[in-house]
């Protein structure tokens, strides 16, 4: 419950900010006599995707680095395969961290952009699914209808609203929330109820604002109408997008994109969900995929023009700058630490293991030349990580 509460605390201000953007877009079009929520959603998606572009580029850079890091991690795992003792596990972890450090990244770098975008995505859905709460001009129409229902008596909704008995219609806000989920058929029934001339005009304005290319964004797609194109188009565009996300590398190991399975599952899931959710959500996914495809084309062009060695070098420079900025005054640089740390983590671990178990298989591997790693580079970086942990512990 605490996690859900905390997540809600994060999503609420983001939804409020995105709601302001949606409201500004709708009001801008309204200046030209265009009252259309669907069009506003498309422009809204374009703006939010543009704002999230730096995170997209960061995620794609990590994917390319991960594709060349993965073979080295797999070799380390193979090296310690079947060795479950504490010393081997510590050494496995240290060498793994050292590989990531050598490329100027870490194991959580790919998750960070995703963790940041997750609350943004939830906030986007919240805005799209409850337009009257965030768009003032639309809310004015709903307020007129809601007030007329209060005057007439909420029983007018008994044969119109789904699960009427379970709805809380005790105040105007709750009535508006219930009306926000109405589809075209329900609005027509409410129009036939004849609430008042002002309410009827407001209902027609709401229906017009919800209409885009003959489809109401509050309806769910149906196999029997043209609306079925929404889930099919959403699924097809996401498949195209997933093809763009395949990582190209110069690795001889031909390591696949770690996200390849998700790139197949997600398009199918989006098509399935589009069948159950309002067309407005499907419209957002279609706009999102279309804009993502365009963005990804240029991102791929940019990353393809960048040599992998150059990408690694830039990642290392960025990690080094971050370290230099965060390190206490007087503490040596990464290069100086590497020179001072003469003891390798392998030698420390081997001594511990020798005392416990005698001569280890790792030493034999080293003698036979089976390890494909440069102990110096791995050890230096591993010891840098170790040194920094000790420094933090002292504090």
Q: What is the pLDDT of residues 311-338, one digit of tens each?
A: 666 666 666 666 566 555 555 554 454 4
Residues 395 and 338 in one domain: yes
Backbone phi, psi, residue 218, to 5°: -90, -10
pLDDT of residue 35: 92
Q: What are the tens digits of pLDDT across the range 252-282?
A: 444 444 555 666 777 888 888 888 888 988 9
Residue 83, in any domain of the structure: no
Residues 290 and 359 in one domain: no
| Final residue in a domain of this structure, among 273, 304, 335 | 304
Residues 231 and 210 in one domain: no
pLDDT of residue 172: 93
Residue 322, in any domain of the structure: no
Residue 278: give the domain boundaries. Answer: 225-304
Residue 235, in any domain of the structure: yes
pLDDT of residue 133: 92
pLDDT of residue 389: 47
pLDDT of residue 337: 47
Residues 188 and 169 in one domain: yes
State the Cα–Cα distance between residues 234 and 268, nearest whole angstrom. 9
Residues 204 and 162 in one domain: yes
Residue 320, in any domain of the structure: no
Residues 212 and 140 in one domain: yes
Return the structure tokens found at 177.
């929330």
Residues 141 and 213 in one domain: yes
Residues 247 and 285 in one domain: yes
Digit-by-digit pLDDT tens for the chain (395 residues) are: 444 454 567 788 888 998 999 999 999 999 999 999 999 999 998 998 888 888 888 777 777 777 778 888 888 888 888 888 888 888 888 888 877 777 777 766 666 666 767 787 788 888 888 899 999 999 999 999 999 999 999 999 998 998 888 888 989 999 999 999 899 999 999 999 989 999 999 999 999 999 998 899 989 998 888 999 999 999 999 888 888 766 444 444 444 445 556 667 778 888 888 888 889 889 988 998 999 899 888 888 877 777 666 666 666 666 666 656 655 555 555 445 444 433 444 444 444 444 444 443 434 444 444 444 444 444 454 454 445 444 444 44
SS3 track for the chain: CHHHHHHHHHHHHHHHHHHHHHHHHHHHHHCCCCCCHHHHHHHHHHHHHHHCHHHHHHHHHHHHHHHHHHHHHHHHHHHCCCCCCHHHHHHHHHHHHHHHHHCCCCCCCCHHHHHHHHHHHHHHHHHHHCHHHHCHHHHHHHHHHHHHHHHHCHHHHCCCCCCHHHCCCCCHHHHHHHHCCCCHHHHHHHHHCCCCHHHHHHHHHHHHHHEECCEECCCCCCCCCHHHHHHHHHHHHHHHHHHHCCCCCCCCCCCCCCCHHHHHHHHHHHHHHHHHCCHHHHHHHHHHHHHHHHHHHHHHHHHHCCCHHHHHHHHHHHHHHHHHHHCCCCCCCHHHHHHHCCCCHHHHHHHHHHHHHCCCHHHHHHHHCCCCCCHHHHHHHHHHHHHHHHHHHHC
CB 40 within 8 A of CB 32: no
Phi-psi map region of 162: left, alpha, beta (phi>0 left; psi -120 to 50 alpha) = beta
pLDDT of residue 28: 95
Residue 125, in any domain of the structure: no
Q: What percent of the chain has pLDDT over 70?
A: 67
Torsion angle (degrees, nearest 10) of CA 183, 186, 187, 190: -160
| Final residue in a domain of this structure, among 168, 201, 217 | 217
Residues 165 and 208 in one domain: yes
| Final residue in a domain of this structure, among 247, 271, 304 | 304
Full-model pTM: 0.69
Residue 315, in any domain of the structure: no
Residues 253 and 203 in one domain: no
Residue 11, in any domain of the structure: no
Residues 248 and 193 in one domain: no
pLDDT of residue 173: 93
CB 124 within 8 A of CB 287: no
CB 321 within 8 A of CB 360: no
Residues 349 and 283 in one domain: no
Work out how many domains the chain is built from and give that number. 3
Residue 338, in any domain of the structure: yes
């Amino acid at each position: 419950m605490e996690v859900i509460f905390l997540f809600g605390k994060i999503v609420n201000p983001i939804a409020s900010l995105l709601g302001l953007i949606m409201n500004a877009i709708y009001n801008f079009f309204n200046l030209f006599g265009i009252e259309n929520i669907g069009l506003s959603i498309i422009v809204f998606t374009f703006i939010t995707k543009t704002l999230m572009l730096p995170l997209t580029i960061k995620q794609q850079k990590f994917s390319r680095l991960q594709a060349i890091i993965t073979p080295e991690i797999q070799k380390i795992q193979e090296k310690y395969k079947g060795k479950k003792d504490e010393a081997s596990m510590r050494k496995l972890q240290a060498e793994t961290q050292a590989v990531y450090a050598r490329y100027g990244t870490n194991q959580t770098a790919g998750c960070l952009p995703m963790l940041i975008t997750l609350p943004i995505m939830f906030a986007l859905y919240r805005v799209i699914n409850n337009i009257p709460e965030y768009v003032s001009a639309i809310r004015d129409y709903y307020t007129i209808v809601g007030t007329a229902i209060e005057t007439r008596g909420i029983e007018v909704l008994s044969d119109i609203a789904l699960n009427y008995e379970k709805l809380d219609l005790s105040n105007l806000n709750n009535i508006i929330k219930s009306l926000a989920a109405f589809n075209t058929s329900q609005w027509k029934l409410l129009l036939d109820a004849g609430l008042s001339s002002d309410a009827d005009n407001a209902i027609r304005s709401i229906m017009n604002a919800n209409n885009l290319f003959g489809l109401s964004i509050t309806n769910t797609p149906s196999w029997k109408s043209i609306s079925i194109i929404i889930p099919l188009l959403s699924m097809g565009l996401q498949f195209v997008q997933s093809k763009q996300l395949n990582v190209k590398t110069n690795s001889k190991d031909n390591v696949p994109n770690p996200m390849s399975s998700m790139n197949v599952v997600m398009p199918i899931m989006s098509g399935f969900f589009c069948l159950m959710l309002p067309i407005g959500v499907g419209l957002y996914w279609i706009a999102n995929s279309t804009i993502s495809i365009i963005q990804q084309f240029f991102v791929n062009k940019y990353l393809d023009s960048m040599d992998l060695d150059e990408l690694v070098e830039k990642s290392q420079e960025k990690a080094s700058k971050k370290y230099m900025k965060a390190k206490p005054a007087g503490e040596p640089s990464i290069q100086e630490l590497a020179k001072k740390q003469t003891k390798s983590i392998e030698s420390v671990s081997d001594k511990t293991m020798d005392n416990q178990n005698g001569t280890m298989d790792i030493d034999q591997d080293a003698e036979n030349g089976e390890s494909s790693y440069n102990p110096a580079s791995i050890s230096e970086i591993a010891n840098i990580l170790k040194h920094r942990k000790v420094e933090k512990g002292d504090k």
